């Protein structure tokens, strides 16, 4: 018999949904079981074979108790020793009522409890059978009920048909409800997993952005081949990075350059600190006075420093030009070198240019464009709006 026991491992929402279903199912069966027990004495007095009638009632009671206990203990309806016996007893009880009771008591009485039990079994089977199979079973059991009831001349054909259709009707309703509930729980678990994965990715990216430049500095400091004239600048940069990381871990704002004008000139002064070993040429007179907002100022400082770290590590440049210009609406900074360059079509940009520069600047409204070709150097153009301070 095809059940839903082969589903993938469930998350927290899935387990809660299964636990909820496993509480509703015993409650539904307990109601029917109580009705059967209340009427079994009267039915035994009417039955042609009392022992058979009572025995069938006891078998149904035992299967129902097993259902209730196992659902409450396991918190799920999917594994169950009661599955098979429940189905068999539902199919057996329908003809048993017809054969054991007087025809006047077969339809419309609880002495003939087979119809109520069949409706309950058809509905509850929809919680552990696959939906299509559960509905098909409901229609089969309904047809089986109708086939036996029409042999009894105690109710109209319409009454028997309505009673028979109740079995697949409830099976369909429960199948749809349970399928929707499980799908909703699975979506919630998947959304939770996606959120955790996204958070982990963001944390990793933030960590990479935090230590990217520091790792470049440490690499050069630990490299015995690093020229001696480069070391003083690296030590200053290492000291600055250590302070920045300390403030970051302490969740405190960096005191460095906390006061003063937020201009391109002051930003470049911070970004260029420690790069005395590079053949820098500055042409910033036309744009140095441009005002920057605080988020842009900090992001630009980190981005320009990252660009220069890349030049130091990879470019082997003989000339590095930092040019700044601005007009009434915006400013532009271009950092270009005459180094080895790279093939943009076949060589993707690394984390520094792609994320530390491009992504970080886009978040503060600055556009970054990288142009490079093998043997022709690399040029990074940064474009953003002029920050206008609000007048008091």
The whole-model pTM stands at: 0.62
Q: Please say if the pLDDT value at position 225 is more than 90.
A: no
Tell whether 207 is covered by a domain: no
266 plus 166 within the same structural domain = no
**Helices 157-222 and 231-249 sit at what angle, rounded to 10 degrees?**
150
Q: Give the pLDDT score at 133.
A: 96
Could you give phi then psi for residue 333, rounded to 5 degrees?
-125, 130
Query: Percent of the chain having pLDDT more than 70?
Result: 86
Nearest to 149 by CA among 118, 194, 184, 190: 118
Single residue among 148, 167, 193 that ends a domain in this structure: 193
Is residue 287 within 8 A of residue 264, CB to CB? The reply is: yes
Instruction: Specify the DSSP element, H or E, that contains 191.
Output: helix 157-222
Q: Give the pLDDT score at 329.
A: 83
CA distances to 92, 114, 194, 234, 237 from 227, in Å: 93, 94, 47, 11, 16
66 plus 158 within the same structural domain = yes
Tell whether 1 is covered by a domain: no
Is residue 340 within 8 A of residue 200, CB to CB? The reply is: no
152 plus 296 within the same structural domain = no
Single residue among 156, 173, 193 that ends a domain in this structure: 193
Q: Give the pLDDT score at 391.
A: 47
SS3 (DSSP) at 225: coil
Matching residue, tokens 């030049």: 311
Sign of the alpha-carbon dihedral angle for 70, 71, 75, 78: positive
Question: How sure is the predictor about 380, in pLDDT bands with cuts at 50, 70 and 90?
Answer: very high
Q: How does pLDDT run across 131-187, given as a tens digit for each residue?
A: 999 999 999 999 999 999 999 877 888 999 999 999 999 999 999 999 999 999 999
Is residue 93 within 8 A of residue 117, CB to CB? The reply is: yes
Question: How sure is the predictor about 3, in pLDDT bands with cuts at 50, 70 and 90?
Answer: low
Q: Please say if the pLDDT value at position 220 is more than 80.
A: no
276 plus 158 within the same structural domain = no
182 plus 279 within the same structural domain = no
Q: Give the pLDDT score at 236.
A: 75
* Out of 198-207, 235-244, 360-369, 373-382, least confident range: 235-244
Single residue among 158, 193, 228 that ends a domain in this structure: 193
Tell whether 172 is covered by a domain: yes
Q: Please say if the pLDDT value at position 340 is more than 50.
A: yes
Longest pairwise C-alpha distance within the chain: 111
Tell whether 246 is covered by a domain: no
* Out of 21-35, 200-214, 277-291, 342-356, least confident range: 200-214
Residue ranges making up the domain that contains 76: 12-193
> 330-337 and 367-372: which strand pairing?
unpaired
Q: Give the pLDDT score at 313.
A: 81
179 plus 265 within the same structural domain = no
Tell whether 220 is covered by a domain: no
42 plus 151 within the same structural domain = yes
Q: Please tell me the total count of domains within the chain.
A: 2
Question: How sure is the predictor about 6, in pLDDT bands with cuts at 50, 70 and 90?
Answer: very low
Q: Give the pLDDT score at 244.
A: 64
- The C-alpha atoms of residue 336 and residue 379 are separated, in whole angstroms, by 4
Q: Give the pLDDT score at 258.
A: 47
213 CA to centre of own chain: 32
> For the chain, what is the mean pLDDT?
86
User: What average pLDDT does range 276-293 have in this prediction?
Assistant: 88
Matching residue, tokens 């070391």: 231
Tell whether 249 is covered by a domain: no
Tell whether 19 is covered by a domain: yes
Nearest to 270 by CA among 225, 199, 322: 322
SS3 (DSSP) at 108: coil
Tell whether 218 is covered by a domain: no
312 plus 187 within the same structural domain = no
Q: How does pLDDT run across 16-52, given as a tens digit for each residue?
A: 999 999 999 999 999 999 999 999 999 999 999 999 9
Query: CATH code at 330?
Result: 3.30.565.10
Q: Which residue has the higher pLDDT, 31 or 344?
A: 31
187 plus 265 within the same structural domain = no
Matching residue, tokens 């594994």: 79
Q: Going by C-beta distance under 8 Å and a sequence separation of 6 or more, which residues neighbour residue 259?
A: none
Q: Give the pLDDT score at 208.
A: 65
Q: Which residue has the higher pLDDT, 218 or 259?
A: 218
Q: Give the pLDDT score at 260.
A: 62
User: What average pLDDT does range 104-132 have in this prediction?
Assistant: 94
Question: How sure is the predictor about 392, in pLDDT bands with cuts at 50, 70 and 90?
Answer: very low
182 plus 264 within the same structural domain = no
103 plus 180 within the same structural domain = yes
Matching residue, tokens 């988020």: 295
188 plus 263 within the same structural domain = no
* Out of 60-69, 116-125, 221-230, least confident range: 221-230
User: What average pLDDT does range 205-231 have in this prediction?
Assistant: 70
């Amino acid at each position: 018999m095809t059940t839903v026991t082969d589903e993938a491992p469930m998350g927290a929402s899935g387990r809660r949904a299964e636990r909820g279903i496993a509480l509703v199912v015993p409650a539904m069966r307990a109601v029917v079981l109580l009705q059967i027990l209340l009427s079994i004495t009267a039915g035994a007095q009417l039955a042609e074979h009392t022992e058979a009638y009572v025995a069938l009632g006891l078998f149904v009671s035992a299967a129902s108790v097993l259902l209730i206990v196992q659902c409450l203990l396991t918190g799920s309806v999917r594994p169950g020793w009661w599955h098979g016996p429940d189905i068999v007893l539902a199919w057996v009880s329908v003809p048993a009522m017809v054969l054991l009771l007087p025809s006047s008591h077969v339809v419309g009485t609880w002495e003939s409890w087979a119809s109520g039990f069949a409706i309950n079994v058809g509905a509850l089977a929809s919680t552990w059978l696959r939906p299509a199979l559960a509905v098909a079973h409901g229609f089969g059991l309904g047809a089986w009920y109708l086939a036996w009831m029409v042999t009894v001349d105690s109710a109209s054909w319409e009454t028997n048909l309505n009673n028979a259709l109740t079995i697949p009707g409830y099976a369909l309703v429960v199948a749809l409800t349970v399928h929707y509930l499980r799908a909703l729980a699975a979506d919630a678990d998947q959304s939770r997993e996606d959120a955790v994965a996204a958070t982990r990715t963001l944390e990793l990216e933030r960590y990479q952005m935090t230590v990217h430049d520091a790792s470049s500095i440490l690499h050069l400091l630990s490299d015995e081949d690093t020229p001696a004239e480069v070391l003083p600048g690296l030590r200053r940069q290492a000291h600055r990075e250590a302070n920045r990381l300390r403030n970051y871990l302490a969740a405190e704002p960096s005191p460095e350059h906390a006061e003063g004008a937020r201009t391109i000139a002051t930003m470049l002064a911070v970004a260029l600190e420690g790069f005395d070993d590079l053949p820098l040429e500055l042409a910033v007179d036309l744009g140095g006075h441009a005002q920057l907002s605080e988020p842009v100022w900090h992001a630009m400082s980190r981005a320009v420093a990252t660009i220069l770290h890349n030049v130091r590590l990879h470019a082997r440049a003989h000339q590095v030009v930092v040019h700044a210009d601005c007009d009434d609406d915006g400013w532009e900074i271009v950092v270009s070198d005459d180094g080895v360059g790279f093939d943009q079509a076949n060589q993707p940009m690394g984390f520094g240019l792609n994320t530390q520069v491009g992504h970080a600047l886009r978040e503060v409204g600055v556009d970054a464009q990288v142009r490079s070709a093998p043997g022709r150097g690399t040029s990074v153009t940064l474009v953003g709006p002029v920050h206008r301070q609000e007048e008091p």
